[in-house]
Amino acid sequence: MMGPSHALSGAAVWLAGSWALDHFADYHQSPLALAVGTAVCAGGALFPDLDLSGKVTRNQGGATVARTFGVFSLFVAEVIEKISLGVYYATKLSRDPRRNNGHRTLTHTLPFTALVGWGTTTLCAAYGKWAVVSILFFMIGLALRGLFDEWAERAGWVIVTLASAAAAWYTFANLPGDRGYPMIGLAVGVGCVVHILGDMITKAGVPILWPIPIKRRMWTMIGLPNSIALRTGSKAEVVVLRAVLTAVAVLAAVGLVAPGVLRRFDIEI
Q: What residues contact 36, with CB distance under 8 A and at least 6 apart?
A: 136, 171, 175, 180, 183, 184, 187
Say how many CA atoms lie within 13 Å of 3 toward its Cβ: 24
Nearer to Zn ion, 96 or 199 (CB): 199
- The verdict on 51 binding Zn ion (CB under 5 A) reads no
Which residues 224-263 are close enough to bind Zn ion by CB under 5 A? Answer: none
The alpha carbon of residue 217 and the mean position of all alpha carbons in its chain are separated, in whole angstroms, by 28
Burial class (CB in 10 A: 0-12, 13-18, 19+), 213: middle
Of 78 and 199, the one with the shorter C-beta distance to Zn ion is 199
Number of residues located near Zn ion, criterion CB under 5 A? 2
Q: Where are the alpha helices (DSSP H) in the chain?
A: 3-24, 31-44, 70-91, 110-127, 129-147, 149-155, 157-174, 177-200, 235, 242-268
Question: Rounded distance, CA 100 to CA 222, Å?
Answer: 20
CB of 49 or CB of 81, closer to Zn ion: 49
Stretch that binds Zn ion, among 45-53, 109-117, 225-233, 254-262 (CB under 5 A): 45-53
Does position 81 bind Zn ion by CB under 5 A? no
Minimum distance from residue 253 beta carbon to Zn ion (Å): 26
CA 119, distance to chain mean position in Å, is 15
Our CB check for Zn ion shows the closer of 81 and 199 to be 199
49 contacts Zn ion (rule: CB under 5 A): yes
Closer CB to Zn ion, residue 112 or residue 181?
A: 112
* 50 versus 249: smaller Cβ distance to Zn ion: 50
| Smallest separation (angstroms) from Zn ion to the CB of 191 | 12
To Zn ion, the closest distance from the beta carbon of 107 in angstroms equals: 8
Minimum distance, C-beta of residue 111 to Zn ion, in the bound complex (Å)? 16
Site string for Zn ion, 178-207 (x = CB under 5 A): ---------------------x--------
DSSP code per residue over 102-131 = -TTSGGGSHHHHHHHHHHHHHHHHHHTHHH
Q: Among residues 236 and 258, whose Cβ is nearest to Zn ion?
A: 236
Cα 164 to Cα 145: distance, rounded to the nearest angstrom: 10
Distance between CA 114 and CA 29 in Å, rounded? 24
- Residues forming contacts to Zn ion in the complex (CB under 5 A) are 49, 199
